[in-house]
Amino acid sequence: MASVLSTPVSTVSGHLLELRRGGLVTEERRGKWVYYQLPSADPVTAMLDPVLASIADDPQIRKDAAAAAELRNTSPAAACARVSAADWTTL
């Protein structure tokens, strides 16, 4: 995610923590990797669907979605390698 957003890992981690606390994402830990996804609960879906629809045509959202789609076909280790060393110093 840090690679896609060109954002420091610590910033992405903080945002994901707040989203998880708010029930807007769920996480699954597999070894040293953490996988996030949108929950399938109806109240959350009802709240997120209008937001996601309203931003769907935003150019930055489209760019981020394309980068994320490319990374889905990449191993976690290869995706992490794309994050610059400078980003890791902010942890």
Buried b (16+ CB within 10 A) or exposed e, 10-34: eebeeebeeeeeeebbeeeeeeeee
Q: What is the residue whose two structure tokens read 């109806």?
A: 42
Q: Does a structural domain hold residue 28?
A: yes
Domain that holds residue 45: 2-83
Instruction: Give a yes or no: residue 91 inside a domain.
Output: no
State the maximum Cα–Cα separation within the chain, in Å, rounded to a whole number: 40
What is the rounded CA–CA span in Å between residue 45 and residue 65?
A: 19
Instruction: Please indicate, yes or no, if residue 52 is contained in any of the structural domains.
Output: yes
Using one digit for the tens of pLDDT, what is the confidence trace for 22-67? 888 889 999 988 888 888 777 777 777 888 888 888 999 888 888 8
Please report whether residue 54 resides in a domain: yes
Q: pTM above the 0.75 mark? A: no
| CATH number, residue 64 | 1.10.10.10
| Within-domain flag for 11 | yes
Is 88 a domain residue?
A: no
Q: Considering its fold, how many domains does the chain have in total?
A: 1
